[in-house]
Structure 1
């Protein structure tokens, strides 16, 4: 007299699947919700990756702009007349001509 126990509670997962198969509209809406949720996740990921790339490019632009400004300052420094005269006297042993060293040439 061994009888199997009678199941009084239906399997919930099986009942949900049967209900979805019976109601095609609900199944279609469920898949469209899942698809749109995955699409939102993907778009959010791609937009964040683009923002990170943009931030890196902006940082690189700022560094290049700073280097360009340093180069302008350096160019200004090297183009100063006092600096040129100092290099000419110290490294090249040049001097300003005196009035005795000057010669006047008359061109007819």
Structure 2
């Protein structure tokens, strides 16, 4: 019984497949095109994932810069307030408001 089972199997399946592909040129050409398209799909997928990673990094950087911009706007608002300017003028620049005696009126003719 084991002789019959061995007799039914081809000696080498790989060589049989290659022999069948060699007999038909169109099948071989289609097989080459299929493999080329498979490798192209893998390459394009790899490049797409790389670009998506770059996009995510750029979006994260944009969010960080946007947050920093908002902080700078708040800081600008703080420093541009009239009371803050007046405080800096009095404390650091030793400025004071003019009194009525310090005012001079100039009449132009």
Tell me the TM-score range normalised by the shorter chain.
0.7 to 0.9
Structure 1 residues without counterparts, runs of 5 or longer: 1-6
| Aligned-pair Cα RMSD in Å | 1.8
Deviates further, 63-72 or 76-85: 63-72
Matches within 5 A, 1:14-25: 14-25=15-26
Match of 1:88 in 2: 89
Q: Distance in 2 between matches of 1:107 and 1:51?
A: 71
TM-score normalised by L of structure 2: 0.81
Deviations 1:22-78 (A, max 9, x none): 122222222121111111101111111111111112222222222222222222111
Q: Distance in 2 between matches of 1:35 and 1:12?
A: 24
How many residues align? The count is 102
Structure 2 residues without counterparts, runs of 5 or longer: 1-5
Q: Distance in 2 between matches of 1:30 and 1:101?
A: 99
Q: Distance in 2 between matches of 1:63 and 1:35?
A: 42
- Give the number of the structure whose residues are more often helix, by fraction: 2
Q: Distance in 1 between matches of 2:58 and 2:99?
A: 57
TM-score normalised by L of structure 1: 0.81
Match of 1:3 in 2: none
Q: Distance in 1 between matches of 2:35 and 2:24?
A: 17
